Amino acid sequence: MSQTYQPVVGLEVHAVLETRSKMFCDCPLVDSTHAEPNVAVCPVCSGMPGMLPVINQAAVDYALRVALALNCQVHPTSIFARKSYFYPDLPKGFQISQYEQPLATQGWLEFDTLEGTQRVTIRRVHIEEDTGKLTHKHADGQRYSLVDLNRSGVPLLEIVTEPELHSVEAVRSCAYALRSVLRYVGVNSGNLEKGLLRIEPNISVRPAGSTDFGTRVEIKNLNSFRSLERATTYELQRQAALVQQGGQVVQQTLGWDDDRGVTVAQRSKEFAEDYRYFPEPDLPPLVLDPAWIEQVRAALPELPHARHNRFIERYDLTPYDAGVLTAERQVADFYEAVLEAAKQADAKLAAHWVSGPLFNLLNEAGVELHALQFGPAELAGLLDLVAGGSINAAGARQVLGELFAHGGPPAEIVERLGLQQISDPQQLQTWVAAVLQQNLQQVTEYLGGNAPLFNWLFGQALKLSGGKADPAKLRAELQRQIAATETSGEELP
């Protein structure tokens, strides 16, 4: 994007509150990608006249967790309202949402960028219900649409930030941080592809240095973080080029065409729709007991950003490693459980083995941490063997592979696979002596100045040990014996 325009972006996020039942009825939440259409539907969520909604307390609990995790001011009383409009996926003709008196306002979220930690203001957090889903078909020369109400009435949390994001990196990082919070507090799995989390950037540009706001567009239908980034980048460039040429941005809702890599017009937003909001007469105001709010606050886990900072300070990890280890709560929990169980292995060693070899195995097998055949205690046991010098890194990798496949006590696996690292001085001496004797020519050349031959000789000795010699001690022994021949000036034994 050109230097002369500053990006201005605010996020509107819809997160499904993944409770058991819907927002105002007992129907279960079903997986939209597997369930048959219209299997989770009742008179309430299909909009039959005269049916009464009942507030799902679990959904309020979930919403409250997020509002508190986002440092919001939670309002003791909030009001559900009817947002009226016609659309075939909305059988009641209105959506129940919170409007004038939302659950919570004025919070903030911290996230990291290359320039350091940034903070975005959370304007509001409110509860609403989802709509049904339409599938448009075109067959036998006819166009028609199918209506699936499984999603109708599913609890949604809307989270709106102020337009305070000024780079694509900030947009991405803020969106990730928000997703991470939702996952940490256990209300949403963060799945964009399935539409469980929908992130819609509102985007405008303004001349650098200006504090006015330019006309914004809103982008919908982004089903991955990659799309969020690409669409934001594209749109910022499009707007900057347009304004530069003297054109004007039209306020509208855009879709993202992932194949072509362009934003496409969906509907013009030049005329604000009149939703005729009014308080939902079938629901009482949502009144929260202050004691309950405090209970939910007290039960919040340590949140990702705080945990990230604590990992850096307490375990002396790099920001990168701390980021990898705290992105998911279960990973961070696992890591800290390893540290808890370890007797000799330190935080850095554990960080390396969790974020490196263990993650590689998980990724290759497509397995989640909770499905592992072993627990943190086993990994700690293995790392203690490494830290204590009982096995070397290559051996430990083998043991980890074995743990991953079958589980079991690490010490037993080491024994069974014969991976015990050998550091007995007598034994090392014998191996080194044998190698020197068998390679007199190379030793002479090394002493004559061919330095790289040292590593070659070391490799021979390690090979002779079957890879089991303690590498540091073996190296020292090799150095010692070569130095001895040199100073004695004698022929090799």
Among the listed ranges 26-34, 242-250, 255-263, 336-344, the one in contact with Zn ion (CB under 5 A) is: 26-34
When the beta carbons of 44 and 332 are compared against Zn ion, the nearer one is 44
Q: If binding means CB under 5 A, how many residues of this protein chain bind Zn ion?
A: 5
Q: Say which entry of Zn ion, ligand ADP, none residue 45 contacts (CB below 5 to 8 A, set by partner kind).
A: Zn ion
Min dist. Cβ of residue 38 to Zn ion (A): 11
Strands 133-139 and 142-148: antiparallel
Interface with ligand ADP, residue 258, by CB under 6 A: no
Q: Say which entry of ligand ADP, Zn ion, none residue 456 contacts (CB below 5 to 8 A, set by partner kind).
A: none
Q: If binding means CB under 6 A, how many residues of this protein chain bind ligand ADP?
A: 15
When the beta carbons of 48 and 265 are compared against Zn ion, the nearer one is 48
DSSP 3-state of 441: helix
Min dist. Cβ of residue 44 to Zn ion (A): 5
Among the listed ranges 156-164, 177-185, 302-310, 434-442, the one in contact with ligand ADP (CB under 6 A) is: 156-164
Interface with ligand ADP, residue 163, by CB under 6 A: yes
Dihedral (CA of 400, 403, 406, 411) sign? positive
Return all residues near 171 (Cβ < 8 A) that are at least 6 apart.
9, 11, 165, 201, 228, 229, 232
Interface residue with ligand ADP, options 5, 6, 8, 397 (CB under 6 A): 8
Min dist. Cβ of residue 327 to ligand ADP (A): 24
DSSP 365-414: HT--GGG-SS-HHHHHHHHHHHHTTSS-HHHHHHHHHHHHHH---HHHHH
Footprint (CB under 5 A) of Zn ion, residues 40-69: 42, 44-45
Interface residue with Zn ion, options 27, 74, 192, 217 (CB under 5 A): 27
DSSP 3-state of 327: coil
Interface residue with ligand ADP, options 159, 160, 386, 436 (CB under 6 A): 160
- Taking residues 347 to 376 in sequence order and writing x for each that binds ligand ADP by CB under 6 A, - otherwise, the string is ------------------------------
Interface residue with ligand ADP, options 89, 162, 229, 258 (CB under 6 A): 162
Q: Which two tokens stand for residue 98?
A: 């919170």
Q: Are 15 and 157 in contact (CB under 8 A)?
A: yes
- Taking residues 213 to 252 in sequence order and writing x for each that binds ligand ADP by CB under 6 A, - otherwise, the string is xx-x------------------------------------
Interface residue with Zn ion, options 16, 25, 168, 332 (CB under 5 A): 25
Q: Say which entry of Zn ion, ligand ADP, none residue 10 contacts (CB below 5 to 8 A, set by partner kind).
A: ligand ADP
Can you tell me which residue has the tokens 């599913």?
154
Footprint (CB under 5 A) of Zn ion, residues 339-398: none
Among the listed ranges 7-15, 175-183, 224-232, 439-447, the one in contact with ligand ADP (CB under 6 A) is: 7-15
Q: Are 320 and 356 in contact (CB under 8 A)?
A: no
Q: Say which entry of ligand ADP, Zn ion, none residue 53 contacts (CB below 5 to 8 A, set by partner kind).
A: none
Give the closest residue to 98 by CA, choosing from 58, 57, 129, 61.
Answer: 129
Q: How far is CA 432 from CA 423, 438, 457, 478, in A?
A: 13, 10, 9, 6
Largest CA distance in the chain: 106
Q: Are 186 and 222 in contact (CB under 8 A)?
A: no
Interface residue with ligand ADP, options 5, 6, 10, 460 (CB under 6 A): 10
Interface with ligand ADP, residue 161, by CB under 6 A: yes
Q: Which two tokens stand for residue 357?
A: 């070899």
Q: How far is CA 3 from CA 168, 172, 207, 213, 395, in A?
A: 14, 20, 9, 17, 53
- Taking residues 111 to 150 in sequence order and writing x for each that binds ligand ADP by CB under 6 A, - otherwise, the string is ----------------------------------------
When the beta carbons of 101 and 344 are compared against ligand ADP, the nearer one is 101
Footprint (CB under 6 A) of ligand ADP, residues 185-204: 202-204
When the beta carbons of 43 and 493 are compared against Zn ion, the nearer one is 43
Which residues is 9 bridged to in the sheet?
Answer: 165, 203
Euclidean distance between CA atoms 135 and 37, whole angstroms: 11
> Alpha-carbon dihedral of residues 293, 299, 304, 306, nearest 10 degrees?
90
Q: Say which entry of Zn ion, ligand ADP, none residue 395 contacts (CB below 5 to 8 A, set by partner kind).
A: none
Q: Say which entry of ligand ADP, Zn ion, none residue 42 contacts (CB below 5 to 8 A, set by partner kind).
A: Zn ion
Q: What does DSSP assign to residue 355? A: I
State which residue has the least CB distance to ligand ADP. Answer: 10
Residues shown for the chain: 493
DSSP 112-181: EETTEEEEEEEEEEEEEE---EEEEEEETTEEEEEEE-TTTT-EEEEEEE-S-B-SHHHHHHHHHHHHHH
Q: Say which entry of ligand ADP, Zn ion, none residue 27 contacts (CB below 5 to 8 A, set by partner kind).
A: Zn ion
Using CB atoms within 10 A of its CB, is residue 262 exposed (0-12), middle (13-18) or buried (19+)?
middle
> Alpha-carbon dihedral of residues 210, 216, 219, 224, nearest 10 degrees?
10
Give the binding site for ligand ADP (CB under 6 A): 8-12, 160-163, 202-204, 213-214, 216
Give the binding site for Zn ion (CB under 5 A): 25, 27, 42, 44-45
